[in-house]
Amino acid sequence: MHQKVLILDFGSQYTQLIARRVRELNIFSEIIPFNKAPEDLSPYKAVILSGSPHSVRSEDAPRPDLSKIKGKMPLLGVCFGAQFMAAHYGGKVEASSIREYGRANLKTIHSDDAFLNGIEINSQVWMSHSDTITELPEGAICLASTADVKNAAYRFQNEETYAIQFHPEVYHSTQGTQLITNFLMDIAGFTGDWTPDAFVEETVAELKETLGDDRVILGLSGGVDSSVAALLLNQAIGSNLHCIFVNNGLLRKNEFEEVLEQYKGFGLNVKGVDASNRFLDALAGISDPEKKRKAIGKIFVDVFDDESKEVEGAKWLAQGTIYPDVIESVSATGGPSATIKSHHNVGGLPDYMKLKVVEPLKKLFKDEVRRVGRSLNMPEDLIGRHPFPGPGLAIRILGDITAEKVSLLQEADAIFIGALKRHGLYDRVWQAGVILLPVQSVGVMGDERTYERCVALRAVESTDGMTADWVDLPYPFLQEVSNEIINRVKGVNRVVYDISSKPPATIEWE
């Protein structure tokens, strides 16, 4: 059994980032809604309380029972967690005189506590709250302050209970990882035993036990997620794994043929299924993004249902679902976090489909999947391949889907991705693509007036897809790509570059 951190989720948009920062230290973390905390806490070595969109002063604010945790095991409250402990144990939390969102700096450190080892004066932290702790409970002492927040960090004396008003899990908190390391390694005594090799060994063993001699169908996409899932399953059940790569008509240019060729050297049993007309027919006339996803999801299920009947005794459908998919689709393990969007590959299957679902990667973030891929000796060019959305180009075509629009976007996308690779920029970018906008604009080509389409280039840098910044690509590069798209892709006369970050925007436009 690995040493584990329990993260109690109060609905913060950053809860999953806490889990990811913990895992960067090779420590397994598990997110559980605050109102579903386990009775048996013996599997956990420490507990972290997340932030929340609620005010601790409101009547409907979460009120967890910490009687089995506080003072009995290492405990860290973050933002709302810090405010809840302050208010619940006799301190005072009041509305801030100013809204405290964004960057701040630690101006004063009041203690030489091990929690603050290596934390420097003026180090940047990230605030996201409208309440502030004005009085600490009896027995609590202030550890650090910012210019506007007196009790930016505090602890309860004679117990390993700490609290911080800021978010160490966010990259903008420049020494946030150091703070989490101090708490987990130095105070809680974790050793960091959850490694990619350990994950492979344990997951393969679990798959063997769960699947036995059953046959499994896996939908391959050509991306790192489904590929890593395939290699794990192949180690566990070998020839009982039947891989299917579906051409949904929404892939990148030549991707169907290239992916099939790529998997030949993997020793996998792979079948290619061209269902592009089936998908395009189902999408005809649909403009709403969620309806697109649902239509694509339904056809995927139908296709795999048909293919499962070709595999005698197939009992399972394997998917490359990863943690952010689960988080953004159904909230973190059923917790109070808000749903952002749905995914075709997350959730249950219809009753008529007799396959059970197995998702060996559903607890991993994207960077963790890549680390596991390296542990499995997967080729580096596949490990570093940009994420590509399950619904494919359907959510990069704003409005209804037609074969003509798909073809146009495939050509523009091939130019953009090809240029990134040619200029050595591909590995600098986490995800990139082209979006076909539902607008036409006036242009001039030669002596003729045109009224044609506009496309947007999108390139972001990220580590897990939960947050992302746009990439500052060189102007000469953008000029080259724009010229090539306009000159080579008939029907496009304008190219723009998306400089929005996530949040508030998302990586995809739909």
- Give the number of other CB atoms < 10 A from CB of residue 430: 21
Question: In 3D, which of 187, 203, 168 has the Cα closest to residue 375?
Answer: 203
328 tagged catalytic: no
Q: Which of 79, 255, 328, 343 is catalytic?
A: 79
Instruction: Give CA torsion, residues 395, 396, 399, 400, to 10 deg.
Output: -70
Q: Which of 129, 167, 242, 343 is catalytic?
A: 167
Q: Which of 100, 169, 307, 368 is catalytic?
A: 169
- Give the number of other CB atoms < 10 A from CB of residue 484: 16
DSSP strand pairing (92-109 vs 28-33)? unpaired
142 tagged catalytic: no
79 tagged catalytic: yes
- Give the number of other CB atoms < 10 A from CB of residue 74: 21
Amino acid at 38: P
Residue whose tokens read 């400089």: 499
Question: Is the distance from CB of 346 to CB of 325 less than 8 angstroms?
Answer: yes
Radius of gyration, alpha carbons of the chain: 25
Query: For the purposes of burial, counting CB atoms within 10 Å of the CB of 316, is it exposed (0-12), middle (13-18) or buried (19 or more)?
Result: buried
Query: For the purposes of burial, counting CB atoms within 10 Å of the CB of 102, is it exposed (0-12), middle (13-18) or buried (19 or more)?
Result: exposed
Q: Cα–Cα distance between 19 and 416 in angstroms, integer?
A: 34
Q: Cα–Cα distance between 317 and 21 in angstroms, integer?
A: 31
Note the maximum CA span of the chain: 81
Q: Cα–Cα distance between 343 and 391 in angstroms, integer?
A: 8
Catalytic residues: 79, 167, 169
